[in-house]
Amino acid sequence: MIPPFVDAAWLAEHDVVLADVRWYLDGRSGIRAFKEGHLPGAVFVDLERVLAAHGEPALGRHPLPDPEVFARGMGEAGIGDDATVVAYDEANGVNAARLVWMLRVLGVDAALLDGGMAAGGEARETGAVPPAPAQFTPRPWPADRLAGIDELHEPGRVLIDARDRNRFSGEFEPVDPRAGHIPGARNVPARETVGDDGRLLAPGELGERFDGVGDDVVASCGSGVTACHTLLVLEHLGRPPGRLYPGSFSQWSNSDREVATGSA
């Protein structure tokens, strides 16, 4: 398996499927941004259509898609069973991480482009890119890499919330019905694991963000997207594989369970 993060030099030396996974919380169109300009040779992967199901509030905003839906989307994007995928976005990788994590837990080589779209150089292509269809075999999401809403507070388990600090504290909530966080969660904002240049912090500085985190980690965020970046960072640091809580705060806040506010 390739590393979970690769740089532009690595990308230039390897034959990969380059995937553009731009998505915007404010409702802007990722495919429109792709058509206006993307890294040469990249294909677009639609987070809403391919990387998530259309969940009811009780399931969260971005539950994992049915394996057949995901497999069909991968095939349409030219990603086959034997592909090596490098994904990017314009958000320090916190959205593209969803695709990378999903592929890696299924045993497919995939990595984030460290530094995102800007790291790929200044050259851009415009318009739609029709990839050659590929065969991607549907396979179930591994249960040992997931956690449900009733499994978050098991003894010894650490729940990490990857959202920005103002959403975790409850000062700001743009999409979910209640503001705050899951009681007992620890806030390690995914966007604070990268520097001003969009690249990962040095391992020592990264490790400090996760001081005191044991071997049993569940990653959460707003809807199970940004949390995937946290899981890739933990893997990058050599930590044991963590679990994703797909429903994340969007599911929790739509339940009748207690919501905490303030900094942890």
Task: Report, as residue numbers or ranges, the catalytic residues.
Answer: 221
* CA distance readout (Å), 89 to 18, 50, 162, 250: 11, 16, 17, 22
Instruction: Check residue 258 and give left, alpha or beta (phi > 0: left; psi -120 to 50: alpha).
Output: beta
Centroid of chain to Cα 172: 21
Answer yes or no: are the C-beta atoms of 244 and 218 closer than 8 Å: yes
Tell me which DSSP letter residue 159 carries.
E
Rg, Å, the chain Cα set: 17
User: Shortest CA distance to 114 belongs to which of 223, 20, 201, 27?
Assistant: 201
Note whether 149 and 247 are within 8 A (CB). yes
Burial class (CB in 10 A: 0-12, 13-18, 19+), 212: exposed
